[in-house]
C-alpha cells in the first residue's frame, strides 16, 4: 500500500525546493494466512468438483487459479431491459509457481443464452494459456521437492503431465501428439510431411500409427480427439 501524493516536486527558477518520493505505508495488503486461504479458493475454482471453472480446466496439463465473473450491466439509455451480461475470467498460471496472469472481459449481446464467465470468457483465457504453456513446456514441470510452495498448489502443479515435451523427434518416426490441441498437432505432423485425418474434437486422445512408428513422406496419420 503506497502513500498517495499529487505533486512530484516543487521547483523555483529551475531549482528543486522539495521532492516527494514514493512511500510504502504497508508492505502487505493482508496476512499470510489470508493470502494462503485466497490462493486455495482461486485454485479450487479450477480444480474442485464444485468449482465454476472445473469443467473448463478438467483435462488441462497445467494448474490454473482464477475466478469467473458474470454481471448484468446497463446498456446505455435502455438500462437493464435488454439483459446484457458482462462475462469475465481472471487468473494466473501455473498455479503452484505462477509466471503469467491474464483477465478476459467480454460484453455479450442482448438476451444472450450463454453468458456465464466460465462459458464465454473462460475458453478465451484457456486458449491463450494453452498456447503460452505449449511454447514453454518447462513451466509445467513438477515443483522441486525443496520448493517453498505448500498447500493446495503443491502436487496439483506437478501431477499433470506436460503435453509438449522438450525432446528430439526422429526424422522418420511418428511423433507423440496425444494430449495436444488440434492446431498444435497439425502444426507438428504436417511439418513432418504427414497427411492428417481428424476425427472428433477437443484434445488428441489417440493416434494411428502409434508414436515412434516409421513412416514415409505424405503418409496419412489418423488422430482421434475427444
What DSSP string describes 90-146? EEEESSSS--EEEEEEEEPPTT-S---HHHHHHHHHHHHHHHHHHH-GGGGSPPPTT
Lowest-confidence pick of 71-85, 137-151, 187-201: 137-151
Mean pLDDT across 63-72: 96
Which three cell numbers, joined as nine digits, stand for 160? 499433470
Question: Which of 165, 166, 149, 146 minimizes the C-alpha distance to 157?
Answer: 149
Q: What is the pLDDT of residue 191?
A: 84
The single-letter DSSP state of residue 43 is H
Residue 158 scores a pLDDT above 90: no
pLDDT tens for each residue of 76-120: 888 999 999 999 999 999 998 899 999 999 999 999 999 999 999
Query: C-alpha cell of 187?
Result: 502444426
Q: Which residues contact 59 (CB under 8 A, 6 or more apart)?
A: 203
Higher pLDDT, 66 or 29: 66
SS3 46: helix
pLDDT the model gives residue 73: 94
Domains and CATH numbers, the chain: 32-153 (3.40.710.10), 182-225 (3.30.10.20)
Rg, C-alpha atoms of the chain = 24
Residues contacting 202, CB < 8 A, separation 6+: 225, 226
Distance separating alpha carbons of residues 221 and 215, to the nearest angstrom: 9
Cα–Cα distance measured from residue 85 to residue 23, given in angstroms and rounded to the nearest whole number:
40
Which residue did the predictor score with more confidence, 138 or 194? 194
- Give the H/E segment covering residue 184: helix 182-190
Q: Does the structure show a pLDDT above 90 at 197?
A: yes
- This prediction has a pTM of 0.55
Amino acid at each position: 500500500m503506497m502513500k498517495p501524493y499529487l505533486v512530484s516536486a516543487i521547483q523555483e527558477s529551475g531549482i528543486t525546493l522539495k521532492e516527494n518520493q514514493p512511500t510504502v505505508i504497508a508492505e502487505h495488503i493482508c496476512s499470510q494466512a489470508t493470502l494462503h486461504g485466497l490462493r486455495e479458493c482461486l485454485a479450487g475454482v479450477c480444480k474442485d468438483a464444485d468449482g465454476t471453472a472445473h469443467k473448463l480446466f478438467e483435462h488441462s496439463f497445467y494448474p490454473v487459479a482464477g475466478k469467473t465473473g458474470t454481471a448484468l450491466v446497463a446498456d446505455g439509455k435502455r438500462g437493464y431491459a435488454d439483459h446484457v451480461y458482462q462475462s469475465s475470467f481472471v487468473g494466473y498460471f501455473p498455479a503452484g509457481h505462477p509466471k503469467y496472469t491474464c483477465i478476459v472481459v467480454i460484453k455479450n449481446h442482448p438476451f444472450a443464452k450463454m453468458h456465464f464467465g466460465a462459458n464465454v470468457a473462460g475458453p478465451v483465457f484457456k486458449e491463450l494459456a494453452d498456447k503460452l504453456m505449449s511454447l514453454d513446456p518447462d513451466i509445467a514441470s513438477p515443483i522441486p521437492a525443496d520448493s517453498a510452495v505448500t498447500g493446495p498448489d503443491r502436487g496439483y502443479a506437478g501431477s499433470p503431465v506436460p503435453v509438449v515435451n522438450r525432446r528430439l523427434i526422429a526424422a522418420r518416426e511418428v511423433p507423440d501428439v496425444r494430449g495436444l490441441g488440434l492446431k498444435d498437432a497439425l502444426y507438428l505432423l504436417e511439418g513432418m510431411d504427414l497427411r492428417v485425418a481428424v476425427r472428433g474434437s477437443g484434445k488428441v486422445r489417440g493416434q494411428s500409427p502409434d508414436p515412434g512408428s516409421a513412416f514415409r513422406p505424405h503418409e496419412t496419420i489418423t488422430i482421434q480427439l475427444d
